Amino acid sequence: MSENFAKGIRWDLSDLYASMEDPKIQSDLNLAQSRAVGFESQYKPLFDSLDEKSAFPLADLLKDYKEIIELLTKPGVFSHLSFAGKTNDAKIGAFMQKIQVTLTDINAHLLFFEVRWNKLDAKIADRLMSDASVQNDRHFLEKMRVWAPHTLAEGEEKIMSIKSNTSGSAFSRLFDEVMNNIPFYIESQGQRVKKTEGEVLSLFHSADRTERKKASDSLAEGLSQNTHLLTYIYNMILADHRSSLKIRNYAHPMDAMNLSNEIDLESVRNLIENVHAAFPLAQRYYALKKKLLGLDTMYDYDRYATVEAEETKIDFSECRQIVLDGYNAFSPEAGKIVEQFFTRRWIDAEVREGKQGGGFCCETTPSLHPYILVNYTGSLRDVMTVAHELGHGMHQYLARRSGILESGAPLTMAECASVFGEMLIFEKILEKETDPKKRLALLCGKIDDNFATVFRQITMTDFELLAHESGLKEGELSSDRLSDFWIQVNAGFYGKSVVLTDNYRHGWKYIPHFVHSPFYCYAYAFAQLFVLSLYQKYKENPKEFIPKYFEMLSLGGSKKPEDIAKIAGLDIKNKDFWKSGLKILEDLVIQTESLAG
């Protein structure tokens, strides 16, 4: 394994529990079980006699419901984070599975609320939601009602819940265990050196083309040796999704995610169409980058190459200072929130075998704080990843005031603070850099990241649509068929600007969102384009913008995305809204072309 630039930077989970053996875990589960049984016996019979005029203690129900959800959240989060830190430990895997099964059993006593609330006559539900005592929870209650057409009978919902541990979520866990334990090897000085997935992926940003080609070969080798299993896992995810479509009567494979994101299919299609129309901008940029890299042909493994002759490595302590400086310059309050993640050990950054790849920020409860996982390899891009996840962290930290039911924003809004955070840090770095060549390298790196967030994520959504829609017609899909889809959608994106190699056919196999959260990816493009417009608002009047921004984040998921956007004066329902963000990307390319010239 290569030099570890964040060695020893591990999170401290003791705010949740001391260890897997902590008796408080079982104590919390027992208390949650007791309260859930009492909740069911107290409130379930009241739905039976509910009519248009009868009283109903909805405020009391919600208060008790929140307390139980808080009790259930801590063991679930602790088991998830423990597993993410060491996916190759069978004991931790068994612990997580045990917790998941226990939580499912307890949730069985709460299911009646969701079912019976969604089965209520609309007039009765509207009357209850109009009561002054539940106004702070009205949006949550309305969001629940959106799922009414897809809510099954109570007994059926219990079966779906119990079976979830051995269906999609089981294959999701298997994917993590397989991916996080595939050995990847890089040829170095006549030896095959073992690498993690994160270390291999970081090499695609190398200035050395030989290193990039080695990374391409290594990734393809590791994935190809696991093709059968990864293909089977994805087919089971597709099949499980198809079953849910049929059982819950969804019209489109994307419907469940769209409902969760509080966005309609037409709006998502509008986003996708706008990004497709801008593909020529990406192809124009890659043609420029090919010249900057001095290449006759640009292959897929060249896309993210730095245009610097040699990339500077950044120790995690320096990364910490860069990020803190950027957030403090934006707002001292933002700086104070972000600094806690470092000083109170809410971050796990070191690279180690068995640790989950990529990065995430995990929400806990309003009485606690989020946790962040990254795999820090010392690149500037990793600094941006830390800035990104800390944006999530600040968002979730502020949104705690919205309560356990509404603190989590839909994905479309949840990605906004993270992307905004990246832009803050990038701008500070660019401001300090006076060397034109290094400024050019920074701009190219930023465009690479923006294009990966907008164009690549929509291309991934295109792949998912092909896979899910083809699965509905054909059933199980072969690995070659899936690889053909992957090449097809990427060829549409890159056109003639990038040559896609045979190695690139494996590219769909390691994308976790395809397995964990089907149709997650368009939220990244949504957020990136939204934040580009949001950032313009900030630059126009920082003093006026910052309080509005904190208000937006503190709302969490307690308002619809379009209502949160209106606070900053943005209209995401406007069909031409996405064009403004894409225009900013074009301006960035023009600026880079000018500097390159």
Length of the chain counted residue by residue: 597
Q: Does a structural domain hold residue 46?
A: yes
In this predicted structure, what is the pLDDT of residue 167? 85
What pLDDT shows up at residue 539?
Answer: 92
End-to-end CA distance of the chain: 40
**Number of domains observed in the structure of the chain:** 1
SS3 for 88?
coil
Q: Answer whether residue 127 is part of any domain.
A: yes
| Residue 132, in any domain of the structure | yes
Domain assignment present for residue 67? The answer is yes
Per-residue pLDDT of the chain (597 residues; tens, 9 = 90+): 346 899 999 999 999 999 999 999 999 999 999 999 999 999 999 998 898 888 999 999 999 999 999 999 999 999 999 999 999 999 999 999 999 999 999 999 999 999 999 999 999 999 999 999 999 999 999 999 999 999 999 999 989 988 888 888 899 999 999 998 899 999 888 889 999 898 899 899 999 999 999 999 999 999 999 999 999 999 999 999 999 999 999 999 999 999 999 999 999 999 999 999 999 999 999 999 999 999 999 999 999 999 886 778 899 999 999 999 999 999 999 999 999 999 999 999 999 999 998 899 999 999 999 999 999 999 888 999 999 999 999 999 999 999 999 999 998 899 899 999 999 999 999 888 888 888 999 999 999 999 999 999 999 999 999 999 999 999 999 999 999 999 999 999 999 999 999 999 999 999 999 999 999 999 999 999 999 999 999 999 999 999 999 999 999 999 999 999 999 999 998 889 999 999 999 999 999 999 888
- In sequence order, the β-bridge partners of residue 185 are 194
Query: Is 325 a member of any domain?
Result: no
| Helix 542-554 and helix 522-540, axial crossing angle in degrees, nearest 10 | 150
CATH of the domain at 118: 1.20.140.70
Residue type, 109: H
Go through 481-504 and write b for each residue having 16 or more CB atoms within 10 A of its CB, e for each that does not.
Answer: bbbebbbebbeebbeebbebeebb
How far apart are alpha carbons 248 and 348 in whole angstroms?
A: 38
* pLDDT for the residue 23: 97
Provide the pLDDT for residue 505.
98
Domain with 123 in it: 13-166
Residue pair 331/338 in contact by the 8 Å Cβ criterion: no
Asked if residue 562 belongs to a domain, the reply is: no
**pTM for the complete prediction?**
0.87
H, E, C per residue of 330-391: HCHHHHHHHHHHHHCCCEECCCCCCCCCCCEEECCCCCCCCEEECCCCCCHHHHHHHHHHHH
Query: For residues 307 and 440, is the Cβ–Cβ distance under 8 A?
Result: yes
- 595 to 203, 344, 448: CA distances (angstroms): 26, 42, 16
Instruction: Say if 304 falls within a structural domain.
Output: no
In a domain, 488, yes or no: no
Q: What is the pLDDT of residue 1?
A: 39
